[in-house]
Amino acid sequence: MQFNPDLYRSERDVESKFIVSYLLPKLGYLPNSWYQEVAFGNIRLDFLAFAIQVLPFSFDGSNPLSLVIEAKSPKSKLDSHIPQLKKYLTSLRVDYGILTNGKELRVYERTGKNIQATLQLKEQDVYDRIEEVKLLVGRSSLKSKELRTKVEDKNQNRSFQDMKVIAVYHNKGGVGKTTVSVNLAAALRNKGYKVLLIDLDSQANSTFATGLVKFQFEEDDNLRDNNVFHVLETGDFNFIPDVARQSDYFNDPEFSIIPSHISLIEGQYKLNQVKASQTRLIKKLKREEKKYDFVIIDTPPSRDIYAQVAIISANYLIIPSDLKPFANQGLVSVQSFIKEIDEFRDSLGRSPIKLMGILPSKISTNAKFLANTFPRQQESIMNHYCLPLMDTIIYERAALSHCLNQTLLVGDLEVPDPKSIFEYANSNAAAAQSASEFEALAEEVLKKVS
């Protein structure tokens, strides 16, 4: 069917007579490469087209979503629908969108958390300049270009002369190590720094939290044979670029992650037999010192080989704590562990690790608690344990758990879709307070490493 806006009298006409019969074929999208009425949670797209066929849907970046097309009534003003398209593109990380009422066609491109119109055509121009549309968002064009917008560093001259490696450690579980690790990585990346997050905990909480676990069944597990254990098991191969993955939909802009896996437990014996295992991460990070400004290491709540590697490799240490009795009692063990590791660091010619401080985390927002109990807890850290407290406080808020437990419904399948607190705050005002706390944490970290 040819382009004929006189035939488009309703939104249904725009969908069937313009988009399905004319636009999609002209742009090179065959029937098996586009889908109509696609639902993702509370988002319902009119059309979703792919540069490559992707069934089943994948959210790991290897089969990225390509093009959203939204159809409106011929009498509808397109300006009023821009916020809706923006929500779709930014929420789903789709790079391109088309907004059309059959008589007017606009092509939009996502730039970070915003969208901008790259082409606007009316009436006969839609027909005369269809090749320009094809060059922008045609199937063959999207196949040959990088689909994801590369967000340029906000401050390209801000990279450090030396890469800063920060371990987030406490031997007490449940104090917020993973929440701090993943959101601090996102906060620093948002400021334009190049960030690598390393998950050294066999529980793989950071790996789960950043959305790298995409499999439902063991036979589909793509992490078992390519994770942080493989970085540590040999000095000859499995270097950082061979194992690192992108955070994908977790944060915009993305950062790099070296995942963990439950199989790390099995690998402990092998690593413990070879002393070189303790220093392989240092050597492999050294090869990447021009690539990253910050490396954040999420650690296990133990004193095992993985915790040792983290503290040996890091320049700085953050100790998250809820400041409750059991966490505080564990600080004595943390101090002795750090002392032992510093002796080993000295034998390597490395200076003692620098303690940024105890980071109050998972702190109750109850007014009476904050007025009476919390100040006493803070005094105990400084007076009884003689440890410095960080200025930033991470409060216990529902948004911090909700952002890591986001899911998408794809048909009948519920797909994990975790978000950083900053991404979650884009669609949930209640998350803004937590986002500001991690913004403050990033600023404090920057001051302490400068």
What's the number of domains the chain is made of? 2
Please tell me whether residues 196 and 137 are part of one structural domain: no
Please tell me whether residues 223 and 120 are part of one structural domain: no
144, 164, 190 — which closes off a domain? 144
Between 419 and 416, the higher pLDDT residue: 419
Query: Which of 323, 15, 294 has its CA nearest to residue 175?
Result: 323
Confirm whether 150 is domain-assigned.
Answer: no
Please tell me whether residues 379 and 297 are part of one structural domain: yes
How far apart (Å, rounded) are the C-alpha atoms in residues 149 and 93?
9
Tell me which of 93-97, 150-154, 276-280 is least confident: 150-154
Q: What's the pLDDT band for 276 if we cut at 50, 70, 90?
A: very high
pTM above 0.75, yes or no: no
86, 121, 144 — which closes off a domain? 144
The per-residue pLDDT for 410 is 61
Please tell me whether residues 220 and 160 are part of one structural domain: yes
Please tell me whether residues 160 and 102 are part of one structural domain: no
144, 167, 196 — which closes off a domain? 144
Neighbouring CB atoms inside 10 A of 371's CB total 9
The per-residue pLDDT for 140 is 83
Q: What's the pLDDT band for 270 if we cut at 50, 70, 90?
A: very high
Q: Looking at the predicted structure, is the pLDDT value of residue 249 above 90?
A: no
Confirm whether 199 is domain-assigned.
Answer: yes
The per-residue pLDDT for 414 is 72
Please report, in angstroms and rounded to a whole number, the separation of the first and last CA atoms in the chain.
64
Q: Looking at the predicted structure, is the pLDDT value of residue 59 above 60?
A: no
List beta partners, residue 445.
none
Q: What's the pLDDT band for 411 if we cut at 50, 70, 90?
A: low
Q: What is the mean pLDDT of residues 26-36?
A: 88
Q: What is the mean pLDDT of residues 420-434?
A: 90
Please tell me whether residues 66 and 115 are part of one structural domain: yes
Backbone angle region of 279, left / alpha / beta, with phi > 0 → left and psi within -120 to 50 → alpha: alpha
Confirm whether 326 is domain-assigned.
Answer: yes
Q: 184 and 193 in contact (C-beta within 8 Å)?
A: no
Q: Looking at the predicted structure, is the pLDDT value of residue 274 above 60?
A: yes
Q: Looking at the predicted structure, is the pLDDT value of residue 119 above 80?
A: yes
pLDDT in tens, 186-239: 999 999 999 999 999 999 999 999 988 876 667 778 898 999 999 999 999 999
Tell me which of 26-40, 136-150, 359-373, 397-411 is least confident: 136-150
